[in-house]
Amino acid sequence: MQRMTLILARLVPLAAVRGLLTALVVSVVVVAGARADEPVHVAVLSDGVALGQGPLAKLDAWPIQLSRMLGKGYLVSNFSRGSMSLSARSDRYAMTLPEWSKLREFQPSIVLVGLGASDAVDSSFKAGPHIADGLDAIIAGLKALPGNPKIYLCLPPPAAADWRRAGTYNVAIEEVLKVINAAGVRHDIPVIDTRTPVSGNDEHLVSGFLPDTQASQRIARAVAATLSGKEPDADVGPYRGTGPAGGLVPTTFVRAGANERALGGEGWQTKDGELRRIGSGVKGLLAPIDTGTGDFRMKATIRIDPSSKSVPRFGLDQNWLWMETTKGLVAAEGPLYRTKPVIIKAAGAAKRGEWFDVEIRRSGMDLEFVAGGEAIVTTLAPRQRFGLFIFDSNGADVALKDWIVEVEPSQAPSPISVPATKP
- In a domain? residue 17: no
- In a domain? residue 25: no
Is 357 found in the same domain as 220?
Answer: no
pTM: 0.78
Is 184 found in the same domain as 159?
Answer: yes
Is 218 found in the same domain as 90?
Answer: yes
Is 360 found in the same domain as 250?
Answer: yes
- In a domain? residue 304: yes
- In a domain? residue 167: yes
Contacts of 169 (CB under 8 A, 6+ apart): 120, 121, 159, 163, 208, 209
Is 203 found in the same domain as 338?
Answer: no
Phi, psi for residue 5 in degrees, rounded to 5: -60, -45
For residue 37, what pLDDT is reported? Answer: 66
For residue 218, what pLDDT is reported? Answer: 97
b/e for 378-409, b at 16 or more Cβ within 10 A?
bbbbbbebbbbbbbbbbebbbbbbbbbbbbbe
Contact 165, 126 (CB under 8 A): no
CATH number at residue 349: 2.60.120.200
For residue 161, what pLDDT is reported? Answer: 94
Q: How many domains does the chain have?
A: 2
**Distance between CA atoms of 206 and 160, rounded to whole angstroms?**
8
Is 102 found in the same domain as 68?
Answer: yes
Is 251 found in the same domain as 203?
Answer: no
Alpha carbon 212 to its chain's center: 19
> DSSP secondary-structure letter at 336?
G
> DSSP secondary-structure letter at 31?
H
Contact 112, 154 (CB under 8 A): yes
CATH number at residue 46: 3.40.50.1110
For residue 19, what pLDDT is reported? Answer: 44
For residue 346, what pLDDT is reported? Answer: 59
Write out pLDDT tens, residues 167-216: 999 999 999 999 999 999 999 999 999 999 999 999 999 999 999 999 99
- In a domain? residue 9: no
Q: Enumerate helices (H) and strands (E) in the chain, giving the number of each.
A: 9, 22
- In a domain? residue 260: yes
Is 287 found in the same domain as 224?
Answer: no
- In a domain? residue 250: yes
Is 285 found in the same domain as 194?
Answer: no
Write out pLDDT tens, residues 56-115: 787 899 999 999 999 888 989 999 999 999 999 999 999 999 999 999 999 999 999 999
Is 161 found in the same domain as 67?
Answer: yes
Sequence-ordered alpha helix ranges (H) in 95-165: 98-106, 117-121, 131-143
pLDDT along the chain (423 residues), means of 10: 44 44 38 55 97 84 94 91 94 96 96 96 84 97 96 97 94 96 98 96 94 96 96 90 88 95 89 87 85 93 90 93 76 78 67 92 90 85 90 91 93 49 40
Is 211 found in the same domain as 300?
Answer: no
- Structural domain of 368: 242-407
- End of a domain among 228, 260, 276? 228
Is 293 found in the same domain as 167?
Answer: no
- Burial tier of 414 (Cβ tally within 10 Å: 0-12, 13-18, 19+): exposed
Beta bridge partners of 191: 153
First to last CA, the chain: 31
**Distance between CA atoms of 234 and 181, rounded to whole angstroms?**
29
- In a domain? residue 45: yes
**CB count in 10 Å sphere of residue 173:** 24
